Amino acid sequence: MRIFAAEIFTTLVMNKEILKLAIPSILANITIPLVGLVDVAIIGHISDATAIGGIAIGTLLFDLLYWNFGFLRVGTSGLTAQAFGAKDDRLAVGIFRQNLLLAGFSTLLVWAIQWLFLMVALKCIPCTPEVADFASQYFYIRIWAAPATLGLMVFKGWFIGMQNTVAPMVCDIVVNVVNMVASYVLALHTPLGMLGVAHGTVIAQYVGLLTATAFLLIRYGKMMKAHLFEPKIFNNMEKVARLAGNLFIRSVGFMVIYVGFTAIASNYGDVQLAVSSIMMKLFMLFSYFVDGFAYAGEALTGRFIGERNEERLHAAVRILFLWCIGVGLVFTLVYAAAGEWSVRIMTDNVPVIVASHPFLPWLIAMPLISCLAFMWDGIYIGAAAGKEVRNCMLWAALGFVLGYLCCYKSIGIQALYVGYFVHLLVRTLYLSFLWKKTKGKAFSIA
């Protein structure tokens, strides 16, 4: 009886810790669509097709560019969480400093390749010269936000590693609100016109960076003062750089899958492209929620490895999976009950709505299929298992390609969803199979 009571108490405490980390991340994630809605409203007030197309392409370019630097956040969070668990303030500050330095180098790289990146991207994206010119203007304005954008990734990862998801939430909300207000004012009430949207984004990113810095100084000022300016800045840099390299390759694998999904869908015509875009947006809505628990997984996995507490890690992993399966089940039920209604919210185009019907079973199945893969990602990132997630994503990308190629002749565009399903299945099975070995390795070197 006493053992049972102790287990219940442990479960309740762990649930509290998980929700304390997950809920702020979920709240931050669900502010993301608001920015898109305001951008649509701004565009709707300026009937300039060239500007609309240019901003759409410019936004896509930055999504592709910054996606490759996601390692700055995820690479920071796992190592920081392990330092937090080990109660090693010097190491935690050192990881922050080294990743901030890495963000600085990344900024210089982005600025160095900006012309080449833009030229190649515009060659690959079919558009009129007028749209390409506007996209270029938009791009060359927003590129000046690179230091703030990349720096914020490090701040957010470090805060998560320090078991603080409130600070990233506040930073995200500040960035999104300032972006909405500044873009609206500059685009509609100044001579900048639609280019005001780009200026608004730059302003928002730097305000977000200042907000993150304020959090750092207020909450962690003593720690920073004690260790930030220690001379041995490159200690442990090899480990940080190696992890960043593995996570960069992982990001490229992600990009191959998601860009490939859109590119393949476009070959089946505008209606099927629209359907695929809507399905992916509805799928991403689910990910905003489950990612909150994945972030909690990063923080707690790293912390308990740093504490060398395998029992608490086991409890955390078990309860995290229960939460993510619960979220997946809720969205599966919602999409099963209101799948077509969800599509109708996204569009009133009748041909698109009708064409979406054969794909609703995929929408219903995806949350339960994908939640395990997302959760494992968070756990492995907390364990700083860069090599494992890199290899997993390479196999998953191969699974996506083979899944599509094996089926497209017989079932057409449905093969695209088969490939996406296969990539999720590969991620889940690969990381599940390796967990025992990865956990042992993490505890042996922590």
Q: For the chain, which ranges sit under pLDDT 70?
A: 1-10, 33-41, 43-49, 233-235, 445-446
Distances (CA, A) of 54 to 39, 184, 311: 13, 17, 53
Residue 79 and residue 157: Cα distance in Å, rounded? Answer: 9
DSSP count for the chain of H helices, then E strands? 16, 0
Cβ atoms of 230 and 90 within 8 Å: the answer is yes
Residues 167-216 pLDDT 10s: 999 999 999 899 989 988 998 888 888 888 889 999 999 999 999 999 99
Q: Which residues contact 378 (CB under 8 A, 6 or more apart)?
A: 291, 293, 294, 295, 296, 297, 298, 301, 320
> What is the distance in angstroms between the CA of the first residue and the CA of the last residue of the chain?
35
- For residue 412, count other CB atoms closer than 10 A to its CB: 12
- Residue 347: predicted pLDDT: 74
- Residue 398: predicted pLDDT: 95
- For residue 126, count other CB atoms closer than 10 A to its CB: 9
Return the structure tokens found at 195.
């280019």
Cβ atoms of 302 and 378 within 8 Å: the answer is no
Name residue 175's amino acid.
V
- Residue 43: predicted pLDDT: 65
| pTM of the predicted model over 0.85 | yes
Residue 224 and residue 189: Cα distance in Å, rounded? Answer: 42
Sign, CA dihedral 29-35-36-38, equals positive
Helix 386-411, helix 237-266: angle, nearest 10: 10
